[in-house]
Amino acid sequence: MSYSFRSARILAQPVAEADTLDIEAVYTGNRALLLLLDRENDPLVLARRFVEGRNMPPRGCPSCLHNLVLREAGSGDVMGLFGLYRGYPKADILYVGELFLCREFQGVGLGREAYLSLEAMLRPGPMSRVRVGVGLRNWNAMRFWIRLGFSQVTGMSGDRSFGPGRHAFLELQKNL
Ligand SMILES: CC(C)(COP(=O)(O)OP(=O)(O)OC[C@H]1O[C@@H](n2cnc3c(N)ncnc32)[C@H](O)[C@@H]1OP(=O)(O)O)[C@@H](O)C(=O)NCCC(=O)NCCS
């Protein structure tokens, strides 16, 4: 299963080396947010990591990683990226590592459409839960995931002390 899909407005395909500059542009458009989210916030570094499949959990297996590029169904223009990992931290959990849309495509229901397309594909199947890590200062994303039914808090991670350049994440989960 590649998790590729086509919905009303989105064509989601496995990312390829040729997409590197487009993926970098997605990150660049979200630069202000990236600074709040993690120590690594260089768009090109993040784009290479995504395209080369190095955004894996510790001891992850490459065949479980599914990095998708989200294209406008009509024009094929890149609208965003969707990073998925099958079986982390448990075999029946699909982990959403990243969902980023270009700024101009945010707020018009595309994130919701992408996630719900994924969910439809997962049912019925071996995955029974979806989990996502959200930066604690990313309140828009927090609202986005909660509205989609991610109501279980399964963990917190990140820095123990406060300060500029410190980061923490909340892990949210939804049963399928
Ligand atoms: C977070 C993100 C994926 C959401 O996708 P989206 O297409 O913009 O969101 P949608 O238009 O589908 O909105 C769905 C719900 O999310 C919430 N939401 C999305 N953007 C919001 C915003 N800017 N402010 C407040 N709520 C927002 C709303 O609750 C909305 O529900 P509503 O219809 O009741 O208003 C997208 O905005 C994005 O790429 N943001 C930057 C990167 C990011 O934060 N990624 C998430 C990392 S975990």
Enumerate the domain spans of the chain. 5-131
Query: Hey, whose CA ends up nearest to atom 20 of ligand 1?
Result: 107
* pLDDT at res. 148: 98
Query: Please, which pLDDT band fits residue 36 given cuts at 50, 70 and 90?
Result: confident
Question: For a substitution probing ligand 1, which of 100, 142, 144, 171 has the most ligand atoms within 8 Å of its CB?
Answer: 144
**pLDDT higher than threshold 80 for residue 149:** yes
pTM for this prediction:
0.94
Question: Which pair of tokens denotes residue 84?
Answer: 């998925």
Q: How far away, in angstroms, is 144 Cα from ligand 1 center?
A: 5
Query: Could you tell me which of 76, 70, 66, 55 has the C-alpha nearest to residue 102?
Result: 70
Q: How far away, in angstroms, is 91 Cα from ligand 1 center?
A: 28
Sheet holding 78-86, edge to edge: 5-6, 10-14, 65-72, 78-86, 93-101, 129-135, 168-175, 152-158
CATH number of 5-131: 3.40.630.30
Tens of pLDDT along 59-116? 999 999 999 999 999 999 999 999 999 999 999 999 999 999 999 999 999 999 999 9
